[in-house]
Amino acid sequence: MFLNYCILNIFDYICAQNAQCWARIIKSDMKIQRYNRLKAAIERAQSEARFDFAEREQARTQFKIVLAEKERTGTWLSEQMGHSISTVSRWMTNKVQPSVEQLYKIAHHLDVDVKELLVSSK
């Protein structure tokens, strides 16, 4: 009888240890799944940021190309437009977008079509 009692206690202990082990495995698996979901979300955000950066860089380059073609500077444009140099600089770096009215004024001062200042999405 005592032997059966000991065997049952040992069996219970092994089962409890086994259950704890499975609980750790499941918890670890859940952490891995959570990590993978987080990693995928970060990768999506980074790819969107790279795409956004590429668009901004292209727009920045387009504005500078038009100014260079017309042999003008941001300082000259700021004087012509009556805006501060920092405002024009923010337009050139695509940190701030000029309004449609301002785009038409910029195009007029640079003697170009407004379409040349805009980057095609195609």
Report the chain (122 residues): mean pLDDT per 10 consecutive residues: 58 62 65 77 69 59 82 89 89 82 89 80 52
Is 6 part of any domain? yes
Residue 93 neighbours by CB under 8 Å, 6+ apart: 60
Residue 91 pLDDT: 83
Tell me the CA distances in angstroms from 121 to 1, 30, 55, 56, one per residue in order.
84, 41, 9, 12
Please give the model's pTM, rounded to 2 decimal places: 0.51
Is 57 part of any domain? yes
Backbone angles phi, psi at 42, to 5 degrees: -65, -45
Residue 96 pLDDT: 81
Residue 67 pLDDT: 87
Residue 31 pLDDT: 73
CATH code for position 75: 1.10.260.40
Is 21 part of any domain? yes
Per the structure, the count of domains in the chain is: 1
Is 41 part of any domain? yes
Q: Domain containing 99: what range?
A: 2-117
Comparing C-alpha atoms, which of 99, 53, 54, 91 is closest to residue 74?
A: 91
Is 122 part of any domain? no
Residue 7 pLDDT: 57
Residue 79 pLDDT: 92
Residue 42 tokens read as 């970060």
